[in-house]
Amino acid sequence: MVEFKEISFPSSYVGRRKGGLTTYACDRPDCQIDGGKLLFEFIIKNKFQKIIDFGTWSGGSVICEAQALQELADRTGLNANEDPYHKDMDDLISDATTVIDKNEVWSLYPEKTCGTFSGEINVFDQSWDGEGQNGNIGATLNNIKKYECYKNVQFNLKKMDIWEWIKNPDSFDFLHIDVGNSPENILKIVDALSDQINEGGVIIFGGGALRYHYAPFGTQINEDGIDVSHTMVSLGHPDNYQKLKDTGLDFLILTQEYPGFICIDRRIRMPWPLYLREK
């Protein structure tokens, strides 16, 4: 079994400490945790093949997903495809930028078929200009190469806003969303994708608990006895957790460890961590 490689570049999927890798570092003593590894294990256990990822930034979640698909490829003994990085990296980035700027899909492997792939990741971002936390084509492609998780994984990159996409969504096994996941946005997305969810599509929203300064660490602030006091970016104020709960939405908080995951999965109704049982 391939050991998960914890990412080491600025991303939601690496713990942030004061003076750490990003300007958003926090001073929580328990902030260095492995949400990316949980994502990796979740995909392997469920054997997802068609993955859609919104909110790329520099490719943190994509690397975790791709490592899982590469592990599945290794387990099934797939022969590695021709190395797509035989091109000069600057040329590869230039090609991708040109295609994406035309609002077309750019694929790491020119062939669209997945006959020798363990799966594909459709990497969508509303902007690929690399500004702030917008998608960064160069960083994403460099990180995919650095972590060597491309040998049997197809990557399709496109400029796409999630609110446009959900008007005519693609099918998916697994959808990861890390873009402004307020309770209102979660409800809108789940409602729009109800058909896909009922057909077996699983969604994880990045961010699964509340911001630290709203409650002391370890405090139980809801009747479920769930500690939702970690540093999170999605739900923020405790009222937002209750607002989401009061809707009756069947969601699970898979983990409150940074970055946290809210999961929508109607295939089977059992509490985490039973998903991690071997199939």
| Structural domain boundaries in the chain | 35-110+117-267
DSSP letter for each residue of 31-79: ----HHHHHHHHHHHHT--EEEEE--TTTHHHHHHHHHHHHHHHHHTPP
Contacts of residue 275, Cβ cutoff 8 Å, sequence gap at least 6: 42, 45, 46, 265
Contact 81, 153 (CB under 8 A): no
Domain topology for 35-110+117-267 = Rossmann fold (3.40.50)
The Cα–Cα gap between 238 and 229 comes to 9
pLDDT digits (tens, 9 = 90+) for 59-80: 999 999 999 999 998 888 887 7
* Residue ranges in the chain modelled with pLDDT below 70: 1-2, 12-34, 111-115, 208-238, 256-259, 269-279
Query: The pTM is what?
Result: 0.82
Residue 57: predicted pLDDT: 86
